Amino acid sequence: MVEPVSQNTSEDEPDRPEEERPTRASRRGRSGSKKFGKVNKKRSFWKELPILIVVALVLTILIQQFLAKVYMIPSGSMETTLHGCSGCTGDRILVDRITYDFTDPGPGDVVVFKGPPAWAGEIETPESSNIFVSGFRALGSLIGFAPPDERDFVKRIIAVGGQTVQCCDDNRVVVDGKALDEPYIHWEEGTGATQKTFDPIKVPAGYVYVMGDNRNNSSDSRFQGGGGVNGAVPVDNIIGKARVIVLPPGRWGGVSDHNPQANAQPLALGAPAWQQGLPLGVGVAAAWPVVFLGRRMSSGVRKAVDRRR
């Protein structure tokens, strides 16, 4: 008698209802997972660490190129708002790179900008002949942990395009006939507390006039060339606005953007303070002879009247 042929072709599979039998694909999946189990095994932490570092660096560079960048303050030209000096640990500031895509730079803003071609650098950046040292320095500058390019400056905007700036009236910078309110000015010991005077300068449209808070120790628009624009800086050269001091921890805080023009005081321009008081002195001096002559005339009139009586 011929026995029926079983539908179960696997020796290790007992007869079971058709709906409970594993399909060929599922059997392949189980065998495949056993065969290739080592491929699916997780990488060790030490193998993934270099990848994480590279990804973090790439993201950091992209963020700093398009959104916000960390800059190191290399000099003391913005003391005491921003701290920096040769051979010490300067402040690291976070610079907002997108704000001026929507608004215009204004008086009081502390900005980082690329110096125009005629500008001389404030710091000397020693170059190394070692390609690895130069590469690490460039990377450190890119992410804010090394001094910036010597062509990058940080200053405060004093006047914008169309305004006229000059110094000084009672030791105060004047813009459009008004003396500025500048509580942030720092007088460095040994430099004196008197600002260097300069003649009126009209800032061209599309430019800003910048000065350092450390007023007598700052290579700014007063002393730099500008291709015929008296040291003014093109708005297009501005990299961004300084927002926050991020390092060191003891210096954490926002960067003041006090507008010096908000409470500016109207003044008479073009003459020192002693000359501005000259008309009053002349008036007082001239009053005495006028009063004396008036009295003499009054006395003469009274005598004439008395004689007629």
Q: Is-catalytic flag, 241?
A: no
Paired residues of 91 in beta bridges: none
Q: Please pick, among 69, 155, 178, 241, the residue that the annotation labels catalytic.
A: 155
Q: What is the pLDDT of residue 245?
A: 96
pLDDT at 273 over 50: no
Which one of the listed residues 69, 75, 77, 178 is annotated catalytic? 77
pLDDT surpasses 70 at 17:
no
Residue 241, classified by CB atoms within 10 Å of its CB into exposed (0-12), middle (13-18) or buried (19+), is buried
Cβ partners under 8 Å of residue 215, min gap 6: 185, 186, 187, 195
Q: Which two tokens stand for residue 290?
A: 């006028």
Q: Which of 33-42, 128-137, 228-237 has the lowest mean pLDDT?
A: 33-42
H or E element, residue 46 = helix 45-66
- Cβ neighbors of 173 (< 8 A, separation 6 or more) are 158, 165, 166, 167, 179, 180, 182, 195, 211, 260
Q: Using one digit for the tens of pLDDT, what is the confidence trace for 111-130? A: 999 988 888 877 665 555 56
Q: How confident is the model at residue 134 (pLDDT cuts 50, 70, 90)?
A: low
Separation in Å, CA 237 to CA 161, 173, 212: 14, 24, 17
pLDDT band at 133 (very low <50, low <70, confident <90, very high): low
Give the residue-averaged pLDDT of 157-164.
Answer: 97
In which band, very low, low, confident or very high, does the pLDDT at 275 lie, cut at 50, 70 and 90? very low
pLDDT given for residue 271 in this prediction? 46
Reported as a pLDDT band with limits 50, 70 and 90, residue 251 is: very high
The CA distance from 141 to 149, in Å, is: 7
Give the per-residue pLDDT at 128.
53
Mean pLDDT on 209-224: 94
Evaluate the omega torsion of the peptide bond into residue 80 and state whether it is cis, within 30 degrees of 0: yes
Kindly tell me if the per-residue pLDDT of 11 is higher than 90.
Answer: no
Strand ranges (DSSP E) for the chain? 68-72, 92-96, 110-114, 152-160, 164-169, 172-175, 178-179, 198-202, 207-211, 233-234, 238-247, 253-254, 265-266
Q: How many CB atoms lie within 10 A of CB 225?
A: 13
Taking the C-alpha atoms of residue 75 and residue 152, their distance in angstroms, rounded to an integer, is: 12
Is the confidence at residue 155, as pLDDT, over 90?
Answer: yes
Q: Is the pLDDT of residue 22 over 90?
A: no
**H or E element, residue 163:** none
User: Model confidence over 33-51: pLDDT tens digits?
Assistant: 444 445 556 677 787 888 8
Q: Which amino acid is at 95?
A: V
pLDDT exceeds cutoff 90 at 9: no
- Give every CB contact of residue 200 below 8 A, 6+ residues apart in sequence: 164, 165, 166, 269
Average pLDDT over residues 47-72: 80
Residue 155 falls in the annotated catalytic set: yes
Here the tokens at position 276 are 């501005």
- Tell me the mean pLDDT in the region 252-272: 83
pLDDT over 60 (residue 99): yes
Average pLDDT over the chain, rounded to whole? 77
Does 85 score more than 70 pLDDT?
yes
Q: Up-side HSE of residue 185: CA atoms within 13 Å toward CB?
A: 17
Q: Provide the pLDDT for residue 26.
A: 53
CB atoms within 10 A of CB 257: 17
pLDDT in tens, 207-216: 999 999 999 9
**Among 9-18, 200-209, 222-231, whose mean pLDDT is lowest?**
9-18
Reported confidence tier of residue 185, pLDDT bands at 50, 70, 90: very high
> For residue 74, what pLDDT is reported?
85
272: pLDDT strictly greater than 50: no
